[in-house]
Structure 1
Amino acid sequence: MRASLRTTVAAALVLGLAAGGTLASPAFADGRPAADTATATATAAQSSGPDVEALETALRGLPDQQATAALIRVGGNGTWQGVAGVSNLKTGAPARDNVRFRAGSTTKIVTAALTLRLVADGTLDLDGTVQEYLPGLLPAGTFEPITVRQLLNYTSGLKPGAALGETDEELYANRFKTLTPQEVLAASVAAGPLHKPGEYQRYSNIHYTVLGLIIEKVTGDTFAHQAAQRIFRPLGMRDSYFPGSDPRIRGPHHRGYQELNGELVDVTEWNVTDRFAAGDMISSARDLERFMVALFRGRIVPEPQLKEMFTRPSVDDIETGEAATMAAGLQRYKINGKVVWGKTGARPGFHTVIAATPDLSRTVVYSVNATDAHRDGGPLAMRFAFPAFNQ
């Protein structure tokens, strides 16, 4: 997820803007009205649960200009589930609620949790440095010591690494190419530091790319296998995995589409090795909800390490000049007077949100097959996530 998108979403949520507007109601590819295929179930009274009417409105009319499909899962004091749109624009088959999707930067919550588990086990030290765990990576005299904690809270001072393109069109053309974490990091190191470690917060994938490499070094195992062994399997997250260089999404899934040059292009198949521990995960709404509840209850990361995920560094965001909002993997929002911790994620064709109040009185996970997932994050969050915290 781009830093500018993250800032836009945060600003919109803090301001408490409603989704608003009138949603178009085009017909599906097979000619049925969009509302006919939208399904939703509510198991709590309106007074104690989410704003069901607003959630239903958010789904009504799909597919539209913003998205081809969406599924929402709300939990806590009042549960609600909804799905609408089509899983495939060519066939017009209706969207389903039991699908897998590219989770984008919500991957970072898993990486943060895995890192802190290793800290709790004594395998890692929060004050241990990149120079200690990956000797020779950062040239002496150019980089000051960078700690694991500074990687977790985005204050390392590392610049973004290599990418397979600058524009959506370039990225699409290179979507089947492999860019390894080592290649991504080498470009960051060659560019030198952005600022001194711990001086500012700047959201970037590079911090979590380095964390993934550290995890592999200290465990002598792949990052993907460590995530499966320590988190996915114990929690029964059967839909979650890291695909590596495999461009497919295994199992049931919606097709993802991206608007390129005025046309919707199928971008479902995509090699995302460049995202690695920062955004390579494939998951499902059920899995992410299960993970979030277990995480907030201390079943994955024990105290005192869990507090790192809810502790923001006392520095400013280098882009906004305002106080840092990110902790270890999670970001703090305030919606309708409620403190909410969560994370957004985006890959072409897929936009994801995972969020909850600290006491789990309200949780929300959604996956939206957005037609411009990277740049349309703010309006998507206001449309599909905000109503879950209205009550």
Structure 2
Amino acid sequence: MVTTRHILIVDDDPIFTAVAESVIRSAGCHRTSVAADGREGLALLAAAEPPVDVVLLDLNMPNLDGLAYLRALGERGYRGAVIISSGESGAIVDAARQLGRMLGLQVCGALGKPLRREAFLAELAACEAALCETAAAAESLAAPQAVQGEIVPHFQPQIALGDGRLVGLEALVRLKTPDGRLLGPPAVFHAGVRDADLPMLTLSIADRAMAEAARWRAEGHGRRLSINLDARTLDAAGFQTDLLRLVERHGLEPGSVVFELTETALPKSLTGLVEQLTRMRMAGFGLSLDDYGTGTANYALLRLCPFSELKIDKSIVQSAALDRVSRLFLMSSVAMASDLGMEVVAEGVETREQLTMVEAAGVSIVQGFIYSPAVRADLAFPKSTWSFEPMRSTG
């Protein structure tokens, strides 16, 4: 069933708006509103009923241009999607798109002029996917801060690009509520969880994930297991010893477990972090620098710590198909990791275009919806084949 959306066209070119309205009508029973400049567009946005879901925005307009409109959207906390439509140069459009994202907006794409029907429909489909994802995330975030339930790991396959082999799985935590709902990380790592609680929570998640890995291994499906590790847990006394005990209890080797370090909040002592991570590598664990390309500290961590893997953040992967700066960053990161003898994983790959791009950049392992979402442990290994083919994608 196609969701009806309210689409606001903000453009001073009447021919463009007429064509856009015609294409929107052909795409389904969507509602459209039209504004000839930014000021009128803001007025329509404020009075819109139902609220505006998608803004199709020109950049060069009288009274209030597209850049000022983006800033106004950010200041108003607009949660819908934005498509930039402009005849300006690619560099200007890219800069506007980055500005929108810096303002916290969902800028789903950009279109040139004149408007091409197929390109516009593809961008509308991208907006629909983004709006559905935002709604799901909002529902999860709106859950009570201390939801009761059972922590259940799901697993997302990591696929070797060369031959489609399943080489590893990342444990992604879910909370199963008494009524059977599955909630994501916000419900597990809620505001009531103190830093002091993180080590025990992490050990509990690792215990459950390793138990599943041990069961797979007993069935002849040994693969490496990746587990997220908040850097703050490394402040806890004896944490590394506890991890080693877990591995031994489940009959695994440290080399079959990769810990993905996130830098959302670093420990108080950077020297302590370097020491603990070096000890983990000495113990034989794999160590991945997660979300690479999003934080200010991860380049410094890469210099200081003995990581075995670099994990390119999905925001880089997904923007590189359209943004040459992100594309160059991706290529240089892969080249650097290769020179350092590190494995490279690209996460968040969703379209064939993104898959082709990361393969051309030299990425060896891919993780993302194009192959599989995170699934229950009993579904992690397909019954008929051990190789994966990309799922159909519109990208």
With normalisation by structure 2, the TM-score equals 0.29
- Per chain length, whose mean CA-contact separation is higher, i.e. which structure has more relative contact order (CA < 8 Å, sep 6+)? 1
Report which of the two structures shows the higher radius of gyration computed on alpha carbons: 2
Pick the structure with more helix per residue: 2
With normalisation by structure 1, the TM-score equals 0.29
